[in-house]
Chains A and B, each alone.
Chain A
């Protein structure tokens, strides 16, 4: 059975693939940015 892909995993994938984030610091920064700024609507 396929494991469910979490929202955190999807956003981490975006950080790596679109923003070319290399370090965990950059990835964490993007996850926080999505939650605390990007979804500020």
Chain B
């Protein structure tokens, strides 16, 4: 494809994404691919042969060129490039990278006890950096300050810059990325990095006020990061949602909701869009989600009925999901296209809907390449 044509298509994608986030109608159905490790599989590339971000960007560019999706939240994150070096430089992490796959180890997550919440609430940054995180990262332990300085510069700034350059290279190859930043909601931060599942569930039952207050304190500590980020109409801060799917509305309201809502309002006030990835089912929490800011929010839904999602939440947020990966794996091309036609007919009128796989495509079983190609071609040529 010529550079001129690629630039034109990229600009069209940008506009389509920005309009869909604003819940305006667009010229064609907006397609948000969520693929990650499926990128190299689709491109026919063995992950172990990809040893640099330049090579990874070539893989992403090739898939983007072939499928012409409008956006993907983030590009393929090769575990050996994204996680491996940081874990080595920092001297620890919650993930283990083996055979080019990453896996989070619950044993490495639970490094904080429930009795520590009051200290965390008093000053989260100082308490985490001086007391809790040194239990995980060798670089924060009692080592030579000069070595500490150099290793933090290399891990955070050096590796961060490499990833930013990679994102830019993907976009220069015509692959529009939605991602402007990656955060997790404050209570999920506690769950994902300090208390793990059994710990946070126990805390929510035994000391809900402390979980709520820790979430609010972390939310305050997040704000300078948000202020340092530049908003854009076609970009969004990506927030995967983890623990709420397992909480009753009562526990959610007491513990998770105060910092979730406050932080959402703050990001939107600062001009950002936010894309929440609602993993598993969220029907029991729709009443709360209706209270999120009425602009700048995109909800990607995994297991909820998208027609119900659009009916209940479509006047508060742009919504995404619905493309059955099960059908893309087990159905025929014709069945997949019929399925997409139904999504377009029912969900595109009025705007504010991205066609998105109902689960992030990670493995070969998440869809046969020929079915994904048939779906992508149909969406590319469809006009609304």
- Give the interface of A toward B (CB within 8 A): 4-8, 10-11, 13-14, 18-19, 25-26, 28-29, 31-41
21 pairs, CB–CB < 8 Å, chain A vs chain B:
A7-B130, A8-B126, A8-B129, A14-B152, A25-B224, A31-B129, A32-B221, A32-B224, A32-B225, A33-B225, A34-B156, A35-B125, A35-B128, A35-B129, A35-B221, A37-B182, A37-B183, A38-B156, A39-B133, A39-B155, A41-B87
- Please state if B225 and A5 are interface contacts (CB–CB under 8 Å): no
Does A38 lie within 8 Å of B134, measured CB to CB? Answer: no
Contact of A14 among B149, B181, B222 (CB under 8 A): B149
Tell me the dominant secondary structure on chain A's binding face: helix
Provide the bound-state CA to CA distance between A35 and B45, in Å.
34
Chain B residues within CB distance 8 Å of chain A: 83, 86-87, 90, 93-95, 125-126, 128-130, 133-134, 137, 140, 142, 145, 148-149, 152-153, 155-157, 160, 181-183, 189, 193, 218, 221-222, 224-225, 227-228
Residues of B contacting A33 in the complex (Cβ-Cβ under 8 angstroms): 156, 225, 228
**Given known contacts A7-B140, A41-B93, A36 and B183 CB-to-CB distance under 8 angstroms:** yes
Q: Is the interface of B mostly helix, strand, loop or mixed?
A: helix
Contacts of B134 in A (CB 8 A): 7
Partner of B130, one of A8, A19, A28, A41: A8
Which interface residue of A5, A6, A13, A32 has the most chain B CB atoms within 10 A? A32
Q: Closest CB-CB distance, B100 to chain A, in whole Å?
A: 16
A36 and B152 contact, CB distance less than 8 A: no
List chain B residues, Cβ under 8 A from A38. 152, 155-156, 160
Say whether B227 contacts A25, CB under 8 Å: yes
Pairwise interchain contact A37-B137, C-beta atoms closer than 8 A: no
Q: With a CB–CB cut-off of 8 A, which chain B residues contact A34?
A: 129, 152, 156
Chain B residues positioned under 8 Å from A6 (CB to CB): 129-130
Q: Assess A14 versus B129: contact at CB under 8 Å? Given A40-B182, A41-B83.
A: no
How far does the Cβ of B189 sit from chain A's closest Cβ, in whole Å? 7
Residues of chain B within 8 A (CB-CB) of A26 are 228
- The docked-state distance in angstroms from the alpha carbon of A5 to that of B93 is 23
Complex Cα gap A31–B152 (Å): 11
Provide the bound-state CA to CA distance between A40 and B340, in Å.
Answer: 36
Residues of B contacting A11 in the complex (Cβ-Cβ under 8 angstroms): 129, 152
Q: Note all chain A residues with C-beta closer than 8 A to B153.
A: 14, 18
**Closest approach, in angstroms, between the C-beta of A23 and any C-beta of chain B?**
10
